[in-house]
Structure 1
Amino acid sequence: MKKELLTLLLLYITQVLVAQDTTPNLPQPYATKSHTNYSHVKGWEAGETPIAPAGFRVTLYATDFENPRWLYELPNGDILVANSNSNHSFLTKIGAQIVGANKSNSMKHSVDRITLLRDADHDGIPEFRSTFLEHLEQPFGMLLIGKYFYVANTNALWRYTYETGSTKLSGPPEKILDLPAGRINRHWTRNIIANKEQSKIYIAVGSGTDHAEKGIGNEKLRANILEINPDGTGLRIYASGLRNPVGMGWAPGSATLWVAVNERDKLGDNLVPDYLTSVKENGFYGWPWWYYGSHPDPRVKDPAPVAASDVIIPDVPLDAHTASLGVVFYTGDKFPQRYQQGAFIAQHGSWNRKPISGYKVIFVPFADGKPAGKPEDFLTGFVKDSLHSVVRGRPVGLLMMKNGNLLVADDKTNRIWQVTYAQP
């Protein structure tokens, strides 16, 4: 009994200390120069893999994609890969100077398809591949509810009839909701997740601009998490003021939705931190008027709809400009105990910071559905030369498979990594 009480006391103290450390000591806007510093993706040499902690093994799960951005596992174990990218029209508009500098972006247009992978013999390597869906518009989030497979394009949510074992969907789709399309390259992804009862679908929609510089009137239904019924009815804003919410997950042992959010740019190297936060129903998180609580953005002139005191402070600060995208809670039992129930976050990497930041997968420990420690590096080795902004790849989508292994999509080198654990 004493041991159990001591354990509970230590857990409580840890959670209190973490809670007290949720507001970082931020510099003033423009305390440092804002840099345009795109990375140069050089790829992986033979024998190179991302680096994981001792006891973990990283292997190549699949390759030869075209921008594998997001991952989803069907109940029969088939893995779906959303192949999508910033639209080619963006590259046409920004001109040769930026295209020449932006080596971190693929120069191809978005191929707009979903690929199916099947590992029928369960040896850890998929031996079958097919085009599951095509002729989409920047597909991203994927979801199966009952007989319906949902895919979130940048401009609409569609659903298709699905039968177990299908390797290609060919029936007519049904559009159940229009979405505000991503403007050129700005926050085009649309992620989706269902609640435990599968009675609601939540849609993450990023802002159309950095800080509403085109006017808040152009941001209708943006910078929000939306909620709908599975048939597309009942649309409402579940939470707002989230500049670019992407990866979402339900904290184990709770009914709380969590999301990774990309914050704004051009305020300096160390502003503004991305973050992982719980999502409160009807909660407001500040964008564009405030960041990380009630820190005002000096560039925003539109009148704010609420007081600064009503802005919710995020739970877990992440480094600035890391582009924290993929989120997955580890609910399996293959990884060591300290990783179970915690959150893995893929950081796609910066373009507005010198030196570069992100380009790794980090881990946030959780206990009883709440953060129980600071973020720590989990998967590194993506950065080859930080001084000259040279990277091997860019992690983005994460998936904890039903077998307990972790998949990591590297969309700029067109491969998917698999992380397994074996006691050293």
Structure 2
Amino acid sequence: MSFTIACCAPPWWSYQGAVRSVHRRPQATARIIQTKAIQTRGSIRPHKYPCARVPGSRAAPGETGVIKTSGLMVAFVLGCFAAITPAVAIGTDQEPGQKIHVDLGALPVPYAPPSGANPSRTIPKPADATLKVPPGFVVNVFADNLGNARNVRVAPNGDVFLVASGDNKILIMHDGGGTAKAVTIFADGFNAPYGLAFINNAILVGDLDGVWKLPYTPGDAHARDRQVRITPVGALSDPGGHGTRNVVVSPDGTKFYVAIGSRGNVAEDPEPRATIQEFAMDGSHQHTFASGLRNPVGIAFYPGTNDLYAVVNERDTLGDELVPDYFTKVVDGGFYGWPYAYLGNHPQPAFASRRPDLVAKAIVPDVLFRSHSAPVGMTFYTAMQFPLAYRGGAFVALHGSWNTSTPRGYIVAHVPFVGGKPADSYTVFASGFWASGEKRAEVWGRPAGVAMAKDGSLLIADDISGTIWRVSYKGK
């Protein structure tokens, strides 16, 4: 196989696994060179990335780096990336097992390069569609034809609840040994529902109008009574802007928390926008738990602790590689930057000078995802079915980008935990939604929700094809 090194590697992220390490100086200039033909084993995914030139910068003379991949080692002039043209070219972060690290210390400057609209194109789901997962895992369709499958949750008895946000309803299905049986409408009449949490003899549902309480006994196929709103009118802000209202209950069952996104991209929105709100279980005693979170969607407590974690969609328009989305522990009273700063005290143009006090106190998040990957659903894995490396970690649905020159996301990522804390990187766990299109993603599905089934398998909700996928481990 012969190929041309045609463009630069972004300095702020690296791969390990299929591509084990890539680093360069953040202000190195792109070079274009030819390499000789080499022999390798197996398939190689394309690694192509547009260069972010910083005005006045130059690459250091003789500066080089190395890309290491399975069966391949390619020396390259720093600032370049291997562009390979296989039969079907897609993005660089799609190989199960790839380890991805976004380097906080090597972020580009704003607007270098600028970002622009590049939405995915939806294509029909192939008849033989499936997901790519690591060796030893198998995939099957748990349920399909479910509509706008946005969020998935599993009841204590193993029944699976699906929040179909665009259809304003909640579906329930019995797990019949790896596939769904008796799919029914549990409740409807909501206004873009998203969050769903279980408490004693009830379910909490978060939608654009508030948090609603529905009577529930495990085994119910339909809600036995009308839902009752327990939060005051307007407590979750108005319906405009980011439209998810996720809900999670504290481990002791005395409080619940609601994640609320901003109204727009960058603005001084009044609270409760861009916050996580805390309530007593009857909907009273509203309190801003954490703020400066532009669009927190997935929220969950780390098992066995009172540590609340969230995945956050960061702002747009600062460039292809700004601002990285993230996964982080959120603390009571914590401020996470938006709109005045990002990822700690990195200043937001035109806003930082308004509140230098908040810029100085902005908290650096724990794990960075590639910018615009759009983390949505998350769950912690506490079962024993999967290998040890996955236990205690988090699975995150990266819904996929719309405004980068090179698409990214459209995967389920795994964030490992070590000693009760998240590592500083993540790995690709499940991909395959992105079928073709290197510069514009052509997708038949997008991962949105994730949940652990009672048997320890992982359920993945795809809100494009209306499918819940089931991933189980059978051994290598």
Q: So what's the TM-score if we normalise by structure 1?
A: 0.85
Decide which of 74, 82, 93 is 2:155's aligned counterpart: 74
Q: What residue identity is the alignment partner of 2:202?
A: Y
Superposed displacement of residue 50, structure 1: 1.1
Superposed displacement of residue 44, structure 1: 2.6
Is the aligned partner of 1:400 residue 2:452? yes
Q: Which runs of 4+ in 1 moved over 6 A?
A: none
Q: What residue identity is the alignment partner of 2:339?
A: P
8 Å contact kept, 1:275–1:314 = yes
8 Å contact kept, 1:23–1:313 = no
Equivalent-residue separation in structure 2 for 1:67 and 1:380 (angstroms)? 19
Matched ranges for 1:264-279 at <5 A: 264-279=315-330
Equivalent-residue separation in structure 2 for 1:48 and 1:301 (angstroms)? 47
User: CA-to-partner distance for each residue in 1:129-156, whole Å, 9 max, x for gaps?
Assistant: 1110111100001112112211001221
Is the aligned partner of 1:182 residue 2:239? yes
Matched ranges for 1:197-346 at <5 A: 197-212=252-267, 216=268, 218-300=269-351, 303-304=354-355, 306-346=357-397
- Which residue is equivalent to 1:54? 135
Quick one: structure 1 residues 302 and 147, their matched pair in 2 at CA, closer, same or farther if it must change by over 3 Å?
A: farther
Q: Which moved more, 1:169-178 or 1:71-80?
A: 169-178
Quick one: structure 1 residues 182 and 302, their matched pair in 2 at CA, closer, same or farther if it must change by over 3 Å?
A: farther
How many percent of aligned residue pairs carry the same amino acid?
Answer: 38
Is the aligned partner of 1:150 residue 2:204? yes
Q: So what's the TM-score if we normalise by structure 2?
A: 0.76
| Runs of 5+ unmatched residues, structure 1 | 1-19, 85-109
Quick one: structure 1 residues 372 and 305, their matched pair in 2 at CA, closer, same or farther if it must change by over 3 Å?
A: closer
User: CA-to-partner distance for each residue in 1:246-295, whole Å, 9 max, x for gaps?
Assistant: 11122245321111000000111111000000111110001000011111
8 Å contact kept, 2:397–2:449 = yes
- Which residue is equivalent to 2:405? 354
- Which residue is equivalent to 2:216? 162
Equivalent-residue separation in structure 2 for 1:252 and 1:164 (angstroms)? 22
User: CA-to-partner distance for each residue in 1:62-94, whole Å, 9 max, x for gaps?
Assistant: 00111010011112211110101xxxxxxxxxx
Q: What residue identity is the alignment partner of 1:131?
A: I
Q: Secondary structure at the match of 2:230?
A: strand
Q: Secondary structure at the match of 2:360?
A: helix
Superposed displacement of residue 326, structure 1: 1.1
Q: Which moved more, 1:70-79 or 1:383-392?
A: 383-392
RMSD (Å) for aligned C-alpha atoms:
1.8
Equivalent-residue separation in structure 2 for 1:160 and 1:22 (angstroms)? 44
Superposed displacement of residue 373, structure 1: 5.2
Superposed displacement of residue 369, structure 1: 1.5
Structure with higher RCO (Cα < 8 A, 6+ apart): 1
8 Å contact kept, 2:216–2:224 = no
Aligned residues: 373
Equivalent-residue separation in structure 2 for 1:146 and 1:422 (angstroms)? 34
| Runs of 5+ unmatched residues, structure 2 | 1-100
Superposed displacement of residue 24, structure 1: 4.1
Equivalent-residue separation in structure 2 for 1:72 and 1:167 (angstroms)? 15
- Which residue is equivalent to 2:120? 39
Q: Secondary structure at the match of 2:327?
A: strand
Equivalent-residue separation in structure 1 for 2:345 and 2:171 (angstroms)? 43
8 Å contact kept, 2:119–2:440 = no
Q: What residue identity is the alignment partner of 2:191?
A: E
Equivalent-residue separation in structure 2 for 1:25 and 1:302 (angstroms)? 23
- Which residue is equivalent to 1:416? 468
